[in-house]
Amino acid sequence: GIPVILDCDPGHDDAFNILLAAAHPAIDLLAITTVAGNQTLEKTTLNARRVCTVAGIEGVPIAAGRDRPLHGPVRVAASIHGESGLDGPGFKDPTVPLDPRDALTLIRDTLLAHPRPVTLVPTGPLTNIAALLLAYPDLAGRIERIVLMGGSTGRGNTTPAAEFNIHCDPEAADLVFSSGLPVTMLGLNASHQVLATEDVIARFDALGTPLAGICTQMLGFFADRYREVFGLPGAPLHDPLTVAHLIDPDLITLVPASVAIELTGTHTRGATVVDLHGVTGRAPNAEVATVVDADRFWDLIVDSVRVLGRD
């Protein structure tokens, strides 16, 4: 399978990305690292262990990374993900351990140990990834590509202009997008094509396993929040677009584009300025998602919960 490290802030949609990466034979999940984002680092790290415990994902090291952005204060998304960062189901205490290394050390060790370049999949603020590139520039050659959820070709969700992951740490995003590494950006314009509506949630419920029950409760909470906060008929399952793209490259249409991160805007800090029509003359530094095959996406997600929920 494709060797992958997930760097995440679970988070409801991050949780489903962990399930998909662990369940699918096309992916070789080498490690999970956590970052402050949807909730504090302590909570996102606990949540990663909870998700792995409930899904029976063992032997994948989990390490905690940065507890704040490169600059400025921490900002969490309690209005969407709740006080725990993963509100909805009741979780028992995790039995999956926390790796004693910090996230940067775990990523470094994993990159050095693997015979092939590894794909990094960040689905939270890009703090850990930027810190890694700053601390270990020589590791760039061990990174196959960076496939991230963040940004948008259009409007934001945290400010009118900025998407949450980029808005939380624009300097980190800027470092990643200007790193020269191949970057794939799955943004809000793509993730809003995969809404967990009542019909979708019913497919998880119908699986009937304990894991499926937890997934149904996670999606129910997430969808309620999106209904209330954004008036949407369901919750966009943003983060699993990343691993879904790796599993099935035809699922999501990508176009090369120049992406600039707004660092100084009065009202637009953290915006991804995506030059879809080449009007700036800047060379593309990313491939950017445009169209998603939503039916095939949900089939993948439902299947991952079915596979992991068997016993």
In the complex, which residues of this chain contact Ca ion (CB under 5 A)? Answer: 9, 11, 14, 123-124, 239
Q: Which one of Ca ion, ligand BDR, none interacts with residue 163, CB within 5 to 8 A by kind? A: ligand BDR
Judged on CB neighbours under 10 Å (0-12, 13-18, 19+), 160 is: exposed
CB within 8 A of 136, min separation 6: which ones? Answer: 104, 108
N residues, the chain = 311
The long-range contacts involving 275-280, CB below 8 angstroms and separated by at least 24 positions, are 276/153
CB of 226 to ligand BDR, least distance (A): 10
For residue 165, state whether it binds ligand BDR (rule: CB under 6 A).
Answer: yes
Q: Which CB sits closer to ligand BDR, 49 or 192?
A: 192
CB of 199 to Ca ion, least distance (A): 24
CB contact burial 10-20 (16+ within 10 A = b; e otherwise): bbbbbbbbbbb
Catalytic residues: 238
Q: Which CB sits closer to ligand BDR, 109 or 171?
A: 171
Q: Which one of Ca ion, ligand BDR, none interacts with residue 77, CB within 5 to 8 A by kind? A: ligand BDR
For residue 13, state whether it binds ligand BDR (rule: CB under 6 A).
Answer: yes
Q: Which one of Ca ion, ligand BDR, none interacts with residue 157, CB within 5 to 8 A by kind? A: ligand BDR
Instruction: Give how far the C-alpha of residue 180 lies from the chain's centroid of Cα atoms, to the nearest Å.
Output: 21
For residue 242, state whether it binds ligand BDR (rule: CB under 6 A).
Answer: no
For residue 157, state whether it binds ligand BDR (rule: CB under 6 A).
Answer: yes
Q: Which CB sits closer to ligand BDR, 108 or 274?
A: 274
What are the backbone angles phi and psi of residue 69, rounded to the nearest 5°? -65, 170
Q: Which one of ligand BDR, Ca ion, none interacts with residue 34, CB within 5 to 8 A by kind? A: none
Which range, of 163-171, 252-260, 268-276, 279-287, touches ligand BDR by CB under 6 A?
Answer: 163-171
CB of 40 to ligand BDR, least distance (A): 14
For residue 238, state whether it binds ligand BDR (rule: CB under 6 A).
Answer: yes
Q: Contact 36/101 with Cβ under 8 angstroms?
A: no
Judged on CB neighbours under 10 Å (0-12, 13-18, 19+), 9 is: buried
CB of 305 to ligand BDR, least distance (A): 18
Judged on CB neighbours under 10 Å (0-12, 13-18, 19+), 307 is: middle
Find the binding residues for ligand BDR in span 93-152 (CB under 6 A): 123, 149
For residue 240, state whether it binds ligand BDR (rule: CB under 6 A).
Answer: no
CB of 80 to ligand BDR, least distance (A): 6
For residue 239, state whether it binds ligand BDR (rule: CB under 6 A).
Answer: yes
For residue 87, state whether it binds ligand BDR (rule: CB under 6 A).
Answer: no
For residue 189, state whether it binds ligand BDR (rule: CB under 6 A).
Answer: no
CB of 109 to ligand BDR, least distance (A): 25
Residues that bind ligand BDR (CB under 6 A): 11, 13-14, 38, 77, 80, 123, 149, 157, 163-165, 238-239
